[in-house]
Copies of this chain bind each other. A is one copy, B any other.
Amino acid sequence: MATIGAVAKQAGVSIASVSRVINGTAARADTERRVRAAIQDLGYQPNSAARALKVRQSEQICLSFDDLSNPAYVLMTRGVGQALSSSKYRLILSSAFSSVEEIVKHLETMGRGFADGLIISPIYADARITTLISQLKMPVVLVGTMPEGLDVDNVYVNSAAGVDLAIDHLIEIGRKRIALINGPVTTNPGRRRKAAFEKALKKNKLAFSDASIIQADAFSTQAGFEAVTNIKELKKFDAIICANDQLAAGVMKFCVDNEIDIPSDIALIGIDNIELASLLRPTLTSVDLRAEERGQIAANLMLNRLANPDRPSKQIEVQPRLVIRQSTVAS
Q: Contact at B45–A112, with CB atoms within 8 Å?
A: yes
Q: Contact at B249–A279, with CB atoms within 8 Å?
A: yes
Task: Kindly state the separation between the CA atoms of A60 and B58 in the bound complex, as whole angstroms.
Answer: 12
CB nearest to A95 among chain B residues: B81
Residues on the B chain within 8 Å of A56, using CB = 49
Task: Kindly state the separation between the CA atoms of A252 and B281 in the bound complex, as whole angstroms.
Answer: 10
Copies in the complex: 2
Binds B, one of A86-94, A120-128, A304-312: A86-94
A69 CB within 8 Å of chain B: yes
Task: Kindly state the separation between the CA atoms of A48 and B85 in the bound complex, as whole angstroms.
Answer: 23
Q: Convert A210-223 into 0s and 1s, putting 1 for each residue whose CB lies closer than 8 angstroms to a CB of B.
A: 00000000000100
What range describes how many residues of A lie at the interface?
Answer: 35 or more
Q: Contact at A78–B82, with CB atoms within 8 Å?
A: no
Residues on the B chain within 8 Å of A256, using CB = 281
Which residue of A46, A68, A81, A279 has the most chain B CB atoms within 10 A of its CB atom?
A279
A182 CB within 8 Å of chain B: no
Task: Kindly state the separation between the CA atoms of A1 and B221 in the bound complex, as whole angstroms.
Answer: 45
Residues on the B chain within 8 Å of A278, using CB = 221
Task: Kindly state the separation between the CA atoms of A137 and B60 in the bound complex, as whole angstroms.
Answer: 22
Q: Contact at A68–B58, with CB atoms within 8 Å?
A: no
A43 CB within 8 Å of chain B: yes
Smallest CB–CB gap between A249 and chain B, Å?
A: 5
A:71-116 near B, CB below 8 Å:
71, 74, 77-78, 81-82, 85, 90-96, 108-109, 111-114
Q: Contact at B90–A91, with CB atoms within 8 Å?
A: no
A275 CB within 8 Å of chain B: yes
- Please pick, from B47, B92, B113, B137, the residue contacting A92 in the complex, using a CB distance under 8 A: B92
Smallest CB–CB gap between A259 and chain B, Å?
A: 13
Tell me the A residues contacting B by CB distance below 8 Å: 1, 43, 45-50, 52-53, 56, 58, 60, 68-69, 71, 74, 77-78, 81-82, 85, 90-96, 108-109, 111-114, 137, 221, 249, 252-253, 256, 275-276, 278-281
